[in-house]
Every structure is written in C-alpha cells, then in structure tokens.
Amino acid sequence: MRGNKSLSTMKSLVRTILPPSLLLFLPTVASAQDPAAAHAINTGDNAWLLASAALVLMMTGPGLALF
C-alpha cells in the first residue's frame, strides 16, 4: 500500500508542477531565430566586445591599487 501512496503523490506532483514549468520554456521556443541569422557575424558587436574588454582590463590596475 505504501508504494501506491508514493506513486499517487508523485503523479499529483507532476500534474501540479509540470504545466507551469512548461510555460517557462514557451518564450524560448517562440523567439527562436532563423539558424542562418543566428550565426551571422556582426563587426559592430565584435568591436564593442573588444573595447569593453579593454576597458575592464584598464580598470584592473587602479582597482588593485585602491584595494
């Protein structure tokens, strides 16, 4: 009998948690991009990434000095 109770509890848990958790994944499926567009390289994005990385590296010295 104990096995049936735990199985019933598990089924109840799946019924209450599974539908709301599936709604969390809905926006990721809805906003999926075209695979060709997802791999396009944007030079502006790359330049900003390199510039911001350089700024962070330049802030390391003064940050350590003030520490």
Tokens of 44: 């502006």
Report the pLDDT value the prediction gives residue 12, as an integer from 0 to 100. Answer: 76
Report the pLDDT value the prediction gives residue 47, as an integer from 0 to 100. Answer: 94
- What CA–CA distance (Å, rounded) separates 64 from 49? 23
What residues of the chain score a pLDDT lower than 50? 1
Q: How many helices (DSSP H) and strands (DSSP E) are in the chain?
A: 3, 0
Tokens of 23: 């709604």
Report the pLDDT value the prediction gives residue 65, as an integer from 0 to 100. Answer: 92
Report the pLDDT value the prediction gives residue 54, as an integer from 0 to 100. Answer: 96
- What CA–CA distance (Å, rounded) separates 65 from 67? 5
Using the structure block, give the residue that is written with the tokens 């999926």.
Answer: 32
Report the pLDDT value the prediction gives residue 6, as an integer from 0 to 100. Answer: 72
